[in-house]
Structure formats: structure tokens, C-alpha cells
Amino acid sequence: MERQNILNFMTNNKELLLVHTSMYNVRLEHPINIMLTPQFYTVKKEAIPVKYAYQAKKIAPSLFDGLLEEDGKYDYIVFKEKVEDEESWVFIAYNIEKIIRFLESKGIDTNKVSKVFFIQQAITQFGKASLSLGDTEVLSVIDNTVVVIPRIVFGEDNIPSLRFTNEFTPKDSGISIKSSTASQSTLMTQTQAFTLITIFMLFAGMFIVEGSRYSSDTEEEKVEIESIYQTYPYLQSTYTRQDAIDTYKNIDRDERRKRDVIKTVSSMIFKGVTLTSLKIDEKKIISEFLCSDTMVSTRIKELVKKLENKLLTAKGDTKIIVEGTL
Amino acid sequence: MNLKRYMNEILVILSLLFMFAAYFYKHHQVSQQTIQNMETKQMLSQLKEVISLKKIWKNKKVTKKIKELKNIVSSSKLHWSQKQNKITATYTKLSSSELNKLTTKILNTPVIIRLLDIKKIGETYTVEFKCKW
């Protein structure tokens, strides 16, 4: 209730401009509210048994069936009116595009239009009086509906006595051109857009939160690395670390190879074979065997051929030389 | 074209783009983190490798094992020369079993073999061995 009052207070503060077809061009300096005459809307009253305006609004399009131009796109505003203890729903159908086009034709910047009201909402201001609309027309109330009638019908003696002031600003809320134009968009309604935006933003939020919270799962490793750095500070340097890796890997590879080769050569010493010499340095190996006969030497040669590493070659008859480069 | 008329669509497209941007942000974060994790694990494995290799090939206890090479045969069969971390040893008149024992010991000692020269002279073996650590 308090919020409603604040809103009313805010809207009432703004200047109210009566918009009718015979009005002059207007240049706005500051935001205003506007009030539309029946020239811009179609009104219908019905006493239907619904409690809330949103329920009444749902059936509004069917009420105007056949009354409105088929090519236009209409929106509706519904409010309750009480006349002589009888309550009825007032349905107003309006084409916001047409209204905007007219306002723009009169030089009115629609960005400066805060709220749009309909003169029917200000029916209580009329009483039995009427309001002049230029030289040829008059706004008057007939059967509790504000209508535009030619001045000539009134006669010369019946002069319109009402003056249009900010007091005509209704207590009911008006419509906003921004939200109305938004609802007029071609592909989707405001509700659909809102739903989609909500879904997209929800997903976006999830992705952002997920992305920002995606932390490292290598905390244990990091702690271990830190502890290694404390014990071996020189390994913190990438170059030193790489150098150490290269050095020790080379040593490890070369020494394992030397030992493997020596073991291989040792495995060739069996019955009928005598090792006469073996020399291994950092680059090559050369070993000499004395075999009891050619069968034994052939067996050694076959053993050398079967070696996977192919490092060694064997030559000779009973005196076999097995050599290779490391 | 009246942009206000398409405000709903524009807002939906903007929110969709924002969602895509958020998705790519998440994707970027995930892949970045995966790379970082891989790098961390790789570095740890490198460090462990270098440390274990160092423990093998730069072990301070190797000096003790080197002494075993000196004591493996009687001093009459051995000429021993050690300069800091390098040794030159000449073993003479070794029997087959002594040769086997010595060779096995050398192979199991974590030193860099610079030279291992085994020669059979008569029924015995002469071994020249040079290494460093």
C-alpha cells in the first residue's frame, strides 16, 4: 500500500499531457506522462465474475473479437470501475505502435514519456462537464464512458468548462511505452524472453562459479615439490634441474648398458668356451673367446644374432671375437 | 529499424552470448588447470627421478663399496691407486672364481666404468679396472 502511494506520488509529480489527433506539435524538455483520448483506444465494459484484473485480462482479446482492425497488434489494460454501487470491468484495447507513430509525428520523444494513461481512467474528473479538444471536438461522458463528440452537437451555449490539469492523472497505474514496445516484439513475448534470459543467466552463473572454483587437485604434489626444494634448493632453477636430469640420465643409461653387455658376454661362457680377453671402455667392448670346436663357435654366433640390442657382432672360427660400440 | 521493438530478442541474444562466454571461460579454466596439474605432476616425477638417480650415482656410501673392491683379493695380487673420486686398480694372477667374484662386485658397484680390461695369461687372469664416481 505504501509502495503504491509512493508510485502515485512519483507519477503525479510529472506533467500530464493530453494527446488527441488535433493537438499541436510538442517538444519535450523533461519526462512527462501522457493521457490518451478515445481516438487511440477502444473501450468495452463487462460485468464478468472474475476477482482479479489478470484473470479479466486473459479474456480481453475474445471480448474485442471483430471490433479491432485485424492487421493491428493490440494490447489490453483492464481495471475495475464502480458506478452507482455496480462494479464492472473496463477493458481497453490499444495499438501501441500506432500510438508511438502518432506521438513521433507530433515531435514527442517517446523516451521522455514515462507513463501512458487513458482518459477513461480519469472519468471521475468529468462529472457532468466536458473538455474541449481543439475547435471541433469535445470530450464528454456518455453512459459512463468518455467519448469524443463533435462540438457542434453541444450547441453554442454549452461551452466545455473543464480544464485539463495534472489532477487528471489517475490513481491506477498506466502503461509504460518501453514495456509495451518490448511486448510488441515479433519473435517472442516478454515472458518467453524473461524465461530464456533467466535460463541463460543461470547457466552462465553456473559456468562462472564452476570455472572460478575449479582449483588444482595437485595440492599434495605441490607440497611435496616444496619439501624437495627445501632439501635440494639448487633444483629450483629450471636449467640446473634439466642439467642434473640430463647428466644423471646419461650416466644411468650408459652404465646400465655397459653392465648389460658384460652380463651378455659372460652368459656366452659355457662348456667348451674360454674367455681369453674382455675389454670395455666408455665407447666400445671387445671380447675374445676360444672355442673347443666350430659347433661351439656357431652356437656363440647364434647367441649373438639373437641378442635384442644388436650391439654386438661375432666373427672368427674357433677363436671368436665379439665386439660392439656402446 | 526500431531497436526497441526487438529489445526482447536483443536481450535474449546478449544473455545467450554471455552464457557462451561463461562456458568458454569455464572451459579455459578447466583446460588451464589440467595443463597446470600435468606440469606439476611431471615436475614432481622429474624431481623424484633426478633425486633417485643422484642417490644411485652420487651416493656417498659408494666409497665404502669401493673399499670392498680393494679387499676382495689379497694385496699381493693388487696394485691400487686412488685420486679423489677416481681409482685405477690392477689385479693379477686371479683365479676364475676370483675373477667372477670381482666382476660381479664391479657390476654391482654404482660407479662409472672407464675401463675394464680382462686378459687370460696362462691359467690366471689379469684385470685392469678404472672407474670414477
Chain A interface disruption, residue of B2, B25, B26, most A CBs within 10 A: B26
Rounded-to-integer distance, Cα B69 and Cα A168, Å:
116
Q: Which of A1-15, A38-52, A290-304, B65-79 has the lowest mean pLDDT?
A: A1-15
Cell of A168: 487528471
pLDDT-above-70 percentage for chain A: 90
**For position A321, what pLDDT does the model report?**
87
**For position A4, what pLDDT does the model report?**
39
* Average pLDDT of every residue of chain A: 84
CATH code of the domain covering residue A285: 3.30.1360
The beta-carbon neighbor of A278 closest among B2, B50, B118 is: B118
- Decide: pTM greater than 0.80: no
pLDDT band per the 50, 70, 90 thresholds, residue A173: confident
User: Are B68 and B128 contained in the same domain?
Assistant: yes
User: Are B49 and B67 contained in the same domain?
Assistant: no
Q: Does residue A212 sit within a domain?
A: no
The beta-carbon neighbor of A244 closest among B7, B25, B50 is: B50
Rounded-to-integer distance, Cα B127 and Cα B119, Å:
6
* Cβ(A114)–Cβ(A31) below 8 Å: yes
Rounded-to-integer distance, Cα B39 and Cα A20, Å:
74
Range of the domain at B27: 3-57
User: Are B49 and B87 contained in the same domain?
Assistant: no
User: Are A37 and A111 contained in the same domain?
Assistant: yes
Question: What are φ and ψ of residue A246, in 5° steps?
Answer: -60, -50
**For position B124, what pLDDT does the model report?**
92
**What's the full length of chain B, in residues?**
133
Chain B interface disruption, residue of A99, A100, A190, A203, most B CBs within 10 A: A203
Q: Which tens digits make up the pLDDT trace of A59-91? A: 888 888 888 887 778 899 998 887 777 788 999
Q: Do B12 and A193 touch (CB under 8 A)?
A: yes
**For position A200, what pLDDT does the model report?**
95
Q: Does residue A231 sit within a domain?
A: no
Rounded-to-integer distance, Cα A78 and Cα A54, Å:
8
Does residue B17 have a pLDDT over 90? Answer: yes
Which of B63, B93, B27 lies closest to A207 in space, CA to CA?
A: B27
- What is the distance in angstroms between the Cα of B51 and the nearest Cα belonging to chain A? 9
Which of B100, B84, B26 lies closest to A211 in space, CA to CA?
A: B26
User: Are B90 and B35 contained in the same domain?
Assistant: no
Does residue A7 have a pLDDT over 60? Answer: no
Rounded-to-integer distance, Cα A15 and Cα A114, Å:
10
Which H helix or E strand runs over A115? strand A113-118
A285 interaction partners in chain B (CB closer than 8 Å): none
Q: Do A216 and B40 touch (CB under 8 A)?
A: yes
The beta-carbon neighbor of A281 closest among B30, B56, B115 is: B115
How many domains are there within chain A?
Answer: 2
Rounded-to-integer distance, Cα A58 and Cα A48, Å:
12
Rounded-to-integer distance, Cα B68 and Cα A122, Å:
115
* Cβ(A175)–Cβ(A53) below 8 Å: no
**For position A206, what pLDDT does the model report?**
94
On whether any CB of chain A is under 8 Å from the CB of B80, the answer is: no
ipTM of the complex as predicted: 0.77
By C-alpha distance, the chain B residue nearest A254 is B112
Which of A45, A47, A80, A49 lies closest to A64 in space, CA to CA?
A: A45
Q: Does residue A34 sit within a domain?
A: yes
Which of B22, B42, B57 is a domain's end point?
Answer: B57
Range of the domain at A98: 2-184
B18 interaction partners in chain A (CB closer than 8 Å): 200-201, 204
Q: Do A218 and B120 touch (CB under 8 A)?
A: no
Place of cell 695380487: B77
- What is the distance in angstroms between the Cα of B110 and the nearest Cα belonging to chain A? 8
Which H helix or E strand runs over A193? helix A190-213
Region A229-253: mean pLDDT is 87
Q: Tell me, what DSSP letter sits at residue A162?
A: B
Burial class (CB in 10 A: 0-12, 13-18, 19+), A173: middle
pLDDT-above-90 percentage for chain A: 21
Rounded-to-integer distance, Cα A151 and Cα A197, Å:
51
Does residue A1 have a pLDDT over 50? Answer: no
Q: Does residue A215 sit within a domain?
A: no
pLDDT band per the 50, 70, 90 thresholds, residue A10: very low
Does residue A108 have a pLDDT over 50? Answer: yes
User: Are A13 and A160 contained in the same domain?
Assistant: yes
The beta-carbon neighbor of B114 closest among A204, A277, A282 is: A282
How many domains are there within chain B?
Answer: 2
DSSP A11-75: HHHS-EEEE-TTPPP---SS-EEEEE-GGGEEEEEE--S-SSHHHHHHHHHHHTTTTS-TTS--E
The beta-carbon neighbor of A211 closest among B11, B26, B117 is: B26
